[in-house]
A and B are shown apart, each in its own frame.
Chain A
Amino acid sequence: MIQVNGLTKDYGARRAIDNLTFDAEQGEIVGFLGPNGAGKTTTMRILTGYMPPTDGTAIVAGYDIVEESLEVRKRVGYLPETVPLYDDMTAVEYLKFMADLRKIPNSNDRAFEALEMVNLAERANSYIGNFSKGMRQRMGLAQALIHRPEVIILDEPTIGLDPAQVVEIRKVIREIGKDRTVLLSTHILTEAQQICDRVLIINKGRIVAEDTPENLQSRLAGSQRVLVRVRGESDELSVKVSKVKGVRDVEAKADGSVEFEFSAGQDVRPQVAKAVIQAGFDLLEMRPIGLSLEEIFLELTRDNAHQKKAS
C-alpha cells in the first residue's frame, strides 16, 4: 500500500529527510516515532502529495506520488499536525465541503457517518469555532476518514487530547487499521506500543530502527533504571546504594534522590530498600524510570555505532 524508496527532501541546504526506505501493507498500522524535527511531518507531507520530494520515489495506494498525485490524493486520508478546520462552518457543513471536494455522492449521509465514527454526531450543527481542542482533533480525523480512504496518514493524532479521548481515538484508529493502511506519527512511546503493528524510529531524517514494538522494547529493556528518594542527603545515600551488589551507574540527584540501574532479571530493589533503611534513612519513594525517547535514541544510535565498529 505504501512503498517508499530512497525518499530525500532538502529545504535549501538543510536535509530534512535522508534516503528513507520503508513500506506498509494493507491492514497494518505503522508508527512513525521520533523527536520534533526528525522529519516525520515532511515525510507525511510528501506521501500525501502536499510537496514533492527532492529525490527518491514513493508508491501510495498503487500510484506514484509525483506522477499521479491526484490519484494518490483521492485515496489518502490525511490529518495534518495543525488540524485544518474552518471555524466559521458547522461540523456537518465542513465535512460536506470536504466530501464535495472529493466528489462523494450523498455527502450528507457520509458526513454523519464520519461524525458517528469520532463520536461527534450530537454536535453536527455546532460551529467548529466553539469546539474544544479534543473535538477539533476528532473533526480533523473525521475529515480524513470521510471518503473511506485505503491509506490513512495521521500526524500526531492524539496530541492535545485528554486521557479519555486518547483512549477513544486509539480505539478508532485500531478499528480503521484492521482493513486499511494507517501511518501515524507520534513522539509518545507508549502510544506506538499500544496501537502500532510496527514502529519506525526516525531521527535526523534517517530511520534508526524498524521493528515491532515488543521487539524494540526487549532490545531496550536490557537494564532498568530506578529512582530512590529519602529524607536526607543525596551524596550520603548514593554511597550506601552503590555498595549494594548488582547496582550500576549510580547518580546523585537534588533533594535526596538517587538514580541507579540494574540488569534485567536481577532485581536488586529489595536489597537497595533494605540497605537504605538499615542506614537510617526515611525511604520516601522508589520507582522505575521509563527510558525517555531521547534516551532510546541515544541507545539506538550508540548501538548502531557499536555494530558498525564490530562489523
Chain B
Amino acid sequence: MRNIWTIAKREYDHYFISPIAYVVAFLILLTTGIIFAINLYSYIQYAFQSFGAAPDISPVTGSFGFLLVLSVPALTMRLLADEARMGTLELLLTAPVRDFELVAGKWLGGLLFILSILAVTLIYPILLNGIVIGNFTLLPQLVTPSIDRQLMFSSYLGVILVSASFLAIGVGFSAIFTNQIAAFFSTLSAFVFLWWLIGFPASVLQGTAAEVFRYLSMQTHFYEAFNQGRIYLTDIVYFVSLIALGLFTATTAVEIRRWS
C-alpha cells in the first residue's frame, strides 16, 4: 500500500512540471468558468422575469464529461508508456513493488491531479452560496437560503467517478503501448465510444436490447443520476467495474511485458 502512495506522489509531483498538465488544467478551468458565467447571467435574466429555478452547480459539473473525454488521454498517455520508452520501467519492475501497486500508484497520481483541478472549481458553488459567518457577510449570497448541497455533493461524486474510470482505462492503454501517441488515440477512441457511441443503439432499439445499451453508456449513469442529485448503487457499481477493468488490464499488460 505504501508503494502505491510513493508512486502516486511522484506522479502527482510530475504533473506540476509538465506543460500538458497545465494546458489541461487551463482549458478545463477556462471552459467551466465561461459556462458558469453564462449560466449565471441567464439565470439573472430569468429571475427578472420571475420564473426559473435557482442557479446550481450542475451546468459546471455537467460540462466535465466532455472535458474529461478530451483531457484525460493527455494526462494518462505517458504514465506507463513513457517509463517503458525511457527504460525506467526496468527500474520499477526490479524494485520490490508488485505490478498492481505500480499500476494503482500511477492511477492514483492522475486522480489526485484531477481532484486538484476539481478543487479549484469549488469556487463556483462558493460564489453562488456566499460566505456568511454569523451576522457578518464576507461574500454576499446569490442564492438564499443556500444552493442545493445534496445536488452539489452528488454531482461532484459523479465527476470523481467518471474521472477515476477514465483514468483507469487510460492507464490500461498506456501499459499496453510503448508509444505515447498510440496510447493517446486509443484512449480517446475508447472514451468517445463509452461516452457517446455506445448509447446510440439505445435510441434506435427497443426493449431489453435498448436497456443494455443504455446501461453501458457512461452518459446515462452520469447525467441521469449523479448530475441530477440521485445516487444509485447500480451507477456506482458501473463506475467501480470500469475502474477495476482498467486497472486489471494495465496490470496484465505489465505482466505480459515481463514475459515477452
- Option from B3, B10, B94 in Cβ contact (under 8 Å) with A49: B94
Q: How far is the CA of A73 from the CA of B258 in the complex (A)?
A: 14
A50 engages B94 (CB within 8 Å)? yes
Whether, in the assembled complex, A260 has its beta carbon less than 8 Å from a beta carbon of chain B, the answer is no
Q: How far is the CA of A45 from the CA of B260 in the complex (A)?
A: 12
A85 engages B98 (CB within 8 Å)? no
- Option from A51, A83, A88, A102 in Cβ contact (under 8 Å) with B96: A102
B residues near A88, Cβ cutoff 8 Å: 14, 17
A residues near B94, Cβ cutoff 8 Å: 45, 48-50, 73, 76, 78, 80
B86 engages A101 (CB within 8 Å)? no
* Interface 1/0 per residue, B84-108 and A, CB below 8 Å: 0011111111111110000000000
B residues near A289, Cβ cutoff 8 Å: none
A85 engages B259 (CB within 8 Å)? no
Which chain A residues in 36-92 approach chain B with CB under 8 Å?
Answer: 45, 48-52, 70-71, 73-74, 76, 78, 80, 82-86, 88
* Chain A min CB distance to B214 (Å): 44
Whether, in the assembled complex, A179 has its beta carbon less than 8 Å from a beta carbon of chain B, the answer is no
* Interface 1/0 per residue, A92-118 and B, CB below 8 Å: 000001101111000000000000000
How many residues of A are in contact with the other chain, CB < 8 A? 27
Most buried by A among B3, B10, B92: B10
A residues near B90, Cβ cutoff 8 Å: 45, 50, 80, 82, 84
How many residues of B are in contact with the other chain, CB < 8 A? 23
Whether, in the assembled complex, B186 has its beta carbon less than 8 Å from a beta carbon of chain A, the answer is no
Q: How far is the CA of A48 from the CA of B91 in the complex (A)?
A: 10
Q: How far is the CA of A48 from the CA of B95 in the complex (A)?
A: 9
Whether, in the assembled complex, A186 has its beta carbon less than 8 Å from a beta carbon of chain B, the answer is no
Contact of A51 with B258 at beta-carbon distance under 8 Å, contacts A84-B86, A86-B88, A88-B14 already known: yes
* Interface 1/0 per residue, A160-201 and B, CB below 8 Å: 000000000000000000000000000000000000000000
* Chain A min CB distance to B6 (Å): 4
A residues near B258, Cβ cutoff 8 Å: 50-52
Most buried by A among B86, B92, B93: B93
Which chain A residues in 140-164 approach chain B with CB under 8 Å?
Answer: 143
A residues near B3, Cβ cutoff 8 Å: 101, 103
Q: How far is the CA of A98 from the CA of B3 in the complex (A)?
A: 10
Q: How far is the CA of A102 from the CA of B94 in the complex (A)?
A: 11
